[in-house]
Chain A
Amino acid sequence: MAFAKKSDTTKVPMTARSIDVSSEISGPSQIIPKAEAWPDRRGQVLTGSQIIWECLLRESVDVVFGYPGGAIMPLYDAMLEFPIHHVLVRHEQGGSHMADGYARASGRVGVCFGTSGPGATNLVTGIATAMLDSIPMVAITGQVHAHLLGSDAFQEVDITGVTLPITKHNYLVTNVDDIAPTLREAFYIARSGRPGPVLVDICKNAQQDKGVFLWDDGPVSLPGYRPSYIPRPRELDQALALINSAKKPVILAGQGIIRSNASDKLLEFAEATGIPVALTLLGLGAFPASHPQNLGMMGMHGEAWVNNAIQESDLLIAVGMRFDDRVTGKLATYAPYAKKIHIELDPSEINKNVKVDVPIIGDVRTVLATLTPHCTKADRGPWVARINASKGDSAVRDIQTLPDSGKLYAAHVIHDLWRATEGNALVVTDVGQHQMWEAQYYKHETPRSLLTSGGLGTMGFALPAAIGARFARPDADVWVVVGDGGFQMTACELSTLAQEDKKVNVAIINNGFLGMVRQWQQFFYGGRYVATPIRSPDFVKLAEAHGLEGRRVTMRSEVIETVLWAKSRPGTVVIDFRVEQEDAVYPMVPAGADLHDMIRRDSPKATTVSGAPAAHNPIFETGEDE
């Protein structure tokens, strides 16, 4: 009982949990805010707008993504005096995704602006996206004069009411004196604990009025806010007992690892125990893909050996993940033989979907670091061998060796993109088939190398989020992987890229369908392709119309060459990959089915769920063509 005895030494002070994660982000450089030389204007009388910018400087904000309008004009008018870069977006939704992408890529708080009314409501999709994926973001909206509130004034909307269920917290500021303390709280809430978006709606009069700029650098005091919890010694002991005695354990690693900068601790824990690691979609990158203990992605489109390992396991150690329905399949038959340990920062996630045996509420980095020294490396040989044996169905080897049939498959594109970028790209995906193919075939070695909308599944996310990521990581090789449908939702942001003269590489996986919906229609709706065939503009010409470059690829032999060409160009490049139209993502656990009940790729060995049509996919599952 390693912890119960010496509980005093294992307790982590509530306030000791690192709030500012930015200091721990390694890798590509961040833009260094120019605020160091900025004069200290505390105690001076400033306008509300100036105070907002002062607050942003003090929160080390270097870039904001926004769109001006009547109720936020005072804030924009004050902008030029401050050393913060403003990116003019083409639609506020794009601005919110850019702030999100910036936050995901950097670990810092992303900031977006919108005006009142439609400006604010256009942010909603991006705010909800950030909420579902726990992304630190502060959205600042202009609001009509305080004396007009509630009068249905021009461009008035109750945006704090609208965003109440999709923000971690939100504020309506009617008075200039409340601006600085509110923004301090907003940034603190957004980044601390389980991060999330915070919206601050600021009335126009508060932006215009003058007040004394007061700023307290001390810790933020919010009596009702509990961002972190202390793991209980008894729970740690129970977990250790389970871990050290398990014969067939699996670690389920989620995005909490990345948010908590705990990848190194996960690696130590996994190597100390020899336990294989399965990842959620948002967890990809939290554990190196090339590591021998990495099983890959679990869930609806996880490979068969991953899901089967989970179903056969005797212990699941869930770390920073929340047992989403896309991960578990049918709950009643989920991992029936496994005890479950749930390491999670947010107590409201405990027993929400899956009943767990040992909950450990706390920061995953702290918990893993505490557990690892007490773990014994048991002999998991037979278990690991069993999983490895089932990996004979590997799909990836087939892609490498598959002869060029003259057709282009999305899997080829992703696989060759991975090879041509040497696995070092920062990939931002949209939502749909291409997203799953990316997750399956691009091997992510490091945290924050895949940005994707998991919880909300927001189409249109990729391009703007990649623009945000570009600002967060100027040195990264940023690739957008996007479908022809999702790309058209936010394609207007190409214009933002052109105006900002920033480079991202866009790979459109163009199959002429809303592919994932088409796949479901094929599998579950009798093949009736209702409203899924989609006609697109000439994406090459679209790029050129924006003053950018584009190319079209129809043959596998052209993929790597075109990727390398894209990398060599100074500006944004759009590549239109014309892939097989009616390809499907395999394997697939139908929604609500047992996790082990997968529709598999065509294979001499693989079995398919009864009733499912035969898969016409040249990417066979077979272990024999290695």
Chain B
Amino acid sequence: MTTPTRKHILRTFVVFVEDRPGVLNRAASLFRRRGYNIESLNVGQTHVPGVSRMTVVVEADEDTARRIEANLYKLVNVLEVQEITHASRIERELALIKVKAPPERRAELIQIAEVFRARIVDMSTDSMIFELSGSHDHIAGLAQVLGEFGIEEMVQTGSVAMSRGAAPPMTHLGRRPADLQ
């Protein structure tokens, strides 16, 4: 009997780590070594000095998710792991898309930007750069529409995520992976 959580789904982990050389390598090495399939990984600073925050999206079932969490906790530099897959959350990716924009089609493109709530951040004689932050699907939708105009370049970040409402405390010393279920 499979429950919905037993299925392989995309899961979002927020991982707080000590800001030290090699920490990203340790986390990435863990995912590689154990064969966990990373969909996206993002690292950046937090408001706390010395603490970085990773957002990792992984395809996994429930048991694997628990082991991912337990294995992350085994890394000495990992302070806190939160799986927010089932939490109400804000999740965003950022994309920059450079699209062919001959003068006669500029108005059309500006309309598209409005529809997608994207920003046009650069314009040259024959191209424009769109900036869009949103969900993976939202960005994919814009890219598909712009494809008809001819995309010259595109770059997209991994996902960053944050649960809604009151922030959980930064470190839960003594809390263990199984308690997060």
List residues of A whose CB falls within 8 A of some B CB.
14, 160-161, 164-165, 168-169, 172, 189, 222-226, 229-230, 232, 346-348, 350-352, 355, 359, 361
Contacts and interface: CB of A to CB of B under 8 A. Distances in A.
B76 interface: yes
Given A164-B22, A226-B173, 12 more contacts: A169-B76, A223-B173, A224-B18, A225-B76, A226-B73, A226-B174, A347-B66, A347-B73, A348-B73, A348-B74, A350-B66, A350-B178
A346 B176 contact: no
Contacts of B74: 346, 348
A478 B18 CA distance: 45
Contacts of B21: 172
B70 A347 contact: yes
A229 B177 CA distance: 10
A182 to B, nearest CB: 12
B55 to A, nearest CB: 18
B77 A224 contact: yes
Interface stretch (B25-33, B119-127, B136-144, B155-163): B25-33
B171 A223 contact: yes
B71 interface: yes
A348 B67 contact: yes
Query: Which interface residue of A14, A164, A223 has the most chain B CB atoms within 10 A?
Result: A223
Nearest to B77: A224
22 contacts: A161-B25, A164-B22, A164-B25, A169-B76, A172-B22, A189-B76, A222-B76, A223-B79, A224-B17, A224-B75, A224-B77, A224-B79, A226-B176, A232-B178, A347-B70, A347-B176, A348-B74, A350-B66, A350-B178, A355-B63, A359-B178, A361-B176
Contacts of A168: 76
A230 B29 CA distance: 28
B146 to A, nearest CB: 41
Contact of A347 (B25, B26, B171, B178): B178
A178 B75 CA distance: 20
Given A347-B73, A355-B63, A165 B29 contact: yes
Contacts of A172: 21-22
A161 B26 CA distance: 9
Contacts of A229: 176
A230 B33 contact: no
Contact of B70 (A169, A189, A350): A350
A351 B18 contact: no
Query: Which interface residue of A164, A226, A229, A230 has the most chain B CB atoms within 10 A?
Result: A226
Interface residues of B, number: 27
Interface of B: 17-18, 21-22, 25-26, 29, 33, 63, 66-67, 70-71, 73-80, 171, 173-174, 176-178
B177 A347 contact: yes
B178 A348 contact: no
Contacts of B79: 223-224
A560 to B, nearest CB: 48
A229 B74 CA distance: 12
B177 A230 contact: no
Query: Which interface residue of A160, A168, A223, A224 has the most chain B CB atoms within 10 A?
Result: A224
Contact of A351 (B33, B66, B77): B66
Contacts of B33: 165
Contacts of B25: 161, 164
A169 B26 CA distance: 9
Nearest to A14: B174
Query: Which interface residue of B75, B76, B77, B177 has the most chain A CB atoms within 10 A?
Result: B76
Nearest to A225: B76
A351 B67 CA distance: 8
Contacts of A352: 67
B168 to A, nearest CB: 16
A169 B178 CA distance: 23
B171 A351 contact: no
B22 A160 contact: yes
A137 B6 CA distance: 38
A379 to B, nearest CB: 34
Nearest to A235: B178
A392 B105 CA distance: 89
Nearest to B25: A164
A171 B75 CA distance: 13
Contacts of B171: 223
A162 to B, nearest CB: 11
A507 B176 CA distance: 47
A225 B76 CA distance: 5
Contacts of A165: 29, 33
A169 B77 CA distance: 9
